C-alpha cells in the first residue's frame, strides 16, 4: 500500500492534471494516478461524443442553410397586418421541417446536444486528463458560439473535428485542422477575405480581412512577443485568401464544408518572417502553417501556456524550458510534450495554487456528487460563473489565471452555485461526512473535516465540501 505522502501527491495529481476523484471510483486510482495519466497518453486518442444528431460540420452546414431558408420562407409568407391568409401554405423545405411550438431553433438545439454529449464524456472518464487537454486546446484555438448561427451550430463539431483527434497527435495537424475549419473561417471572417489582385478582388473592389491571420500569429502560434511584424500579418492574410466555406449553392462542394476558392486567392509569393511562399493554391497556406508550427517561438509560447494552465499562474521557467525543448525536438508531438509534463517532478511538487475554472469546478462537482449530464443544470451555473461552453468574449479565449476567477464577485457566485448543488444533491447523499472523506481523501484537512461535521444541514455540509480549498484548488 502506498504511503500517506505518496497518496497525497497522487491525489493532487488527479486534480491538477485531471478532473478529480469521482463518486464510486476505486480508491486504487489515488495510488496510481501518474501511471494512469501516462497510460492515457500512450493510447494517443480521446473518446468522441456519441448520440449526436449530426456527424460533422459539412452535414451541419447543409442543415443550417436549409433551416435558414425555411425560416426566411416562413417570414416572407406571413401576411401583413390586415392581409388575408393565403388559402394554401407555401411548400416546406424538406430538409428543415417546421419546429413545434416552443421548440428552440436548430442552432440552439444542436449546441445544447453537443454540450450535453461533451459533459457526459468528462463525467465518464476515469481520470480525465484527455478531457482537460481538450478544454485547454479548445480554448487555445477558440471560436465563439454567439458570433452567428454557423458558429453556434458548429461549435461542438469544431471541437470534435479540429481538436479531439489531435490532442495526443501533432501540433501542426491540429493547427491546420483548426484554421481550415468552417467554424474558424466564419468566426474570424476569413470567408470574407478577398485578395485585391484576385479575379474576385478586381471585380468587386474588396480586399483582405486580416482577423484570422493576426490571431494565428498572436494567439495560436508565435505569441504576441514572437518576433513578427504587421507586414507578416498582412502577408499571411494574403497567403490564406481563398480558404472559405462552401455556400448553400454548393458550387465548390458540400454546403458548409471547407473549400479553397482560387477566384478569391491573392496571386504572388508574399513573404512571411522573411521567407517567400509561392506554392500553388491551398498549398501556400499549408506550407506557411507548417513553418509556424515548427518555429521556436511557437514552442516557447505553447510551453508557457501549458505550464500556466496546469501548474501555476507564474510558470516555473525550468519547466517551461523543458517542455519547449521537447516540443522542438519532436516537431510538436503533443503526446511527448504531455508525457514530459506528467513525468516532471516540478509539475507534481508545486503547491495546489490554481483555482479551478468554472467549467473544471462544475465537472469536478458533478463527478463528486454523481450528477448526470443535463443541459439546464450545466448551462445555468456556467452562465452564472462566466464560462459557458464555447462562448469566450474574444478570440483570446477564456482567461487562465486566479485573478480572473477569484474576484470577490466570482467567489460570491461560487458560494451561491455550491449552495444550489448542495440542496439538489442532499436527498441522494446519505452522509456528507463520508462523501467528503471519499472524494477528498488524503487532501482533506482537519479544518474542512470539522466544518462539514458541524454543518447545520446536509445541503450546507455538501456546499462546504465543494467550497473547501482542497476542492476549489488544484
Residues 28-77 have pLDDT tens digits of: 999 999 999 999 999 999 999 999 999 999 999 999 999 999 999 988 98
Spatial CA neighbour of 323 closest among 14, 335, 314: 335
pLDDT, tens digit, 9 for 90 and up, residues 112-129:
999 999 999 999 999 999
Q: Which residues are within 8 A (CB) of 235 and not within 5 positions of it... i.e. 6 or more apart?
A: 270, 271, 272
Is position 174 within any domain?
no
- In a domain, residue 45? The reply is no
Q: Say if residues 441 and 30 touch (Cβ distance below 8 Å).
A: yes
| Boundary (domain end) residue, out of 276, 293, 310 | 293
Q: Write down the pLDDT at residue 23.
A: 96
Residue in this structure with the C-alpha cell 491525489, named with its chain if needed: 11
In a domain, 104, yes or no: no
Whether 157 is in a domain gets the answer: no
Decide if 245 contacts 191 (C-beta within 8 A).
yes
Residues 286 and 302 grouped into a single domain: no
- Contacts for 76 with CB less than 8 Å, ≥ 6 apart: none
What is the separation of C-alpha 465 from the centre of its chain, rounded to a whole number of angstroms? 27
8 A C-beta contact, residue 140 and residue 159: no
Neighbours of 378 (CB within 10 A): 23
Per-residue pLDDT reduced to its tens digit, 281-316: 999 999 999 999 999 999 999 999 999 999 999 999
- Mark whether 280 and 316 lie in a shared domain: no
Same domain, 266 and 339: no
Phi, psi of 259 (to 5 degrees): -150, 150
Residues 332, 437 within the same domain: no
Q: Percent of the chain, pLDDT > 90?
A: 91
d(CA 334, CA 99): 43
Do 286 and 317 have their domain in common? no
Say if 153 falls within a structural domain.
no
Quick one: pLDDT at residue 205?
Answer: 75
User: 463 and 363, same structural domain?
Assistant: yes
> What is the domain count for the chain?
3
**Domain carrying residue 376:** 4-21+355-472
Given a contact cutoff of 8 angstroms between Cβ atoms, the answer to whether 261 and 252 are in contact is yes
Domain identity same for 327 and 343: yes
Cell numbers 456527424 correspond to 55
Q: Are residues 233 and 315 in the same domain?
A: no
Q: Which pTM was predicted?
A: 0.94
Amino acid at each position: 500500500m502506498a504511503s500517506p505522502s505518496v497518496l497525497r501527491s497522487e491525489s493532487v495529481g488527479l486534480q491538477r492534471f485531471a478532473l478529480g476523484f469521482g463518486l464510486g471510483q476505486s480508491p486504487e486510482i489515488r495510488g496510481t494516478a501518474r501511471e494512469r495519466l501516462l497510460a492515457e497518453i500512450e493510447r494517443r486518442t480521446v473518446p468522441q461524443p456519441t448520440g449526436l444528431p449530426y456527424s460533422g460540420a459539412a452535414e451541419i452546414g447543409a442543415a443550417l442553410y436549409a433551416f435558414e431558408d425555411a425560416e426566411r420562407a416562413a417570414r416572407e409568407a406571413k401576411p401583413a397586418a390586415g392581409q388575408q391568409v393565403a388559402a394554401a401554405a407555401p411548400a416546406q423545405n424538406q430538409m428543415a421541417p417546421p419546429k413545434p411550438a416552443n421548440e428552440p431553433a436548430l442552432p440552439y438545439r444542436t449546441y445544447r446536444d453537443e454540450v450535453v454529449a461533451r459533459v457526459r464524456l468528462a463525467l465518464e472518464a476515469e481520470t480525465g486528463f484527455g478531457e482537460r487537454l481538450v478544454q485547454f486546446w479548445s480554448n487555445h484555438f477558440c471560436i465563439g458560439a454567439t458570433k452567428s448561427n454557423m458558429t453556434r451550430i458548429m461549435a461542438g463539431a469544431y471541437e470534435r473535428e479540429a481538436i479531439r483527434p489531435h490532442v495526443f497527435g501533432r501540433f501542426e495537424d491540429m493547427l491546420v485542422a483548426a484554421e481550415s475549419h468552417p467554424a474558424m473561417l466564419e468566426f474570424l471572417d476569413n470567408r470574407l477575405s478577398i485578395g485585391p489582385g484576385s479575379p474576385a478582388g478586381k471585380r468587386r473592389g474588396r480586399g483582405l480581412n486580416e482577423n484570422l491571420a493576426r490571431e494565428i500569429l498572436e494567439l495560436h502560434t508565435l505569441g504576441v512577443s514572437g518576433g513578427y511584424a504587421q507586414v507578416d500579418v498582412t502577408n499571411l492574410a494574403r497567403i490564406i485568401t481563398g480558404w472559405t466555406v462552401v455556400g448553400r449553392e454548393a458550387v465548390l462542394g458540400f454546403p458548409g464544408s471547407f473549400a479553397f476558392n482560387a477566384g478569391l486567392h491573392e496571386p504572388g509569393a508574399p513573404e512571411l518572417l522573411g521567407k517567400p511562399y509561392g506554392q500553388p493554391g491551398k498549398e501556400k497556406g499549408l506550407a506557411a502553417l507548417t513553418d509556424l508550427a515548427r518555429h521556436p517561438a511557437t514552442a516557447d509560447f505553447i510551453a508557457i501556456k501549458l505550464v500556466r494552465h496546469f501548474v501555476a499562474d507564474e510558470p516555473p521557467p525550468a519547466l517551461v524550458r523543458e517542455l519547449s525543448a521537447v516540443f522542438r525536438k519532436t516537431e510538436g508531438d503533443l503526446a511527448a510534450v504531455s508525457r514530459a509534463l506528467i513525468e516532471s517532478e516540478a509539475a507534481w511538487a508545486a503547491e495546489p495554487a490554481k483555482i479551478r475554472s468554472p467549467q473544471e469546478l462544475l465537472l469536478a462537482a458533478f463527478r463528486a456528487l454523481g450528477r448526470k449530464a443535463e443541459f439546464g443544470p450545466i448551462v445555468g451555473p456556467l452562465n452564472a460563473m462566466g464560462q459557458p461552453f464555447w462562448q469566450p468574449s474574444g478570440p483570446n479565449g477564456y482567461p487562465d489565471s486566479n485573478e480572473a476567477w477569484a474576484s470577490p464577485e466570482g467567489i460570491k457566485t461560487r458560494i451561491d452555485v455550491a449552495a444550489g448543488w448542495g440542496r439538489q444533491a442532499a436527498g441522494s447523499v446519505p452522509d456528507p461526512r463520508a462523501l467528503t472523506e471519499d472524494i477528498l481523501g488524503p487532501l482533506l484537512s482537519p479544518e474542512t473535516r470539522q466544518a462539514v461535521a458541524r454543518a447545520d444541514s446536509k445541503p450546507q455540509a455538501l456546499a462546504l465540501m465543494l467550497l473547501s480549498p482542497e476542492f476549489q484548488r488544484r
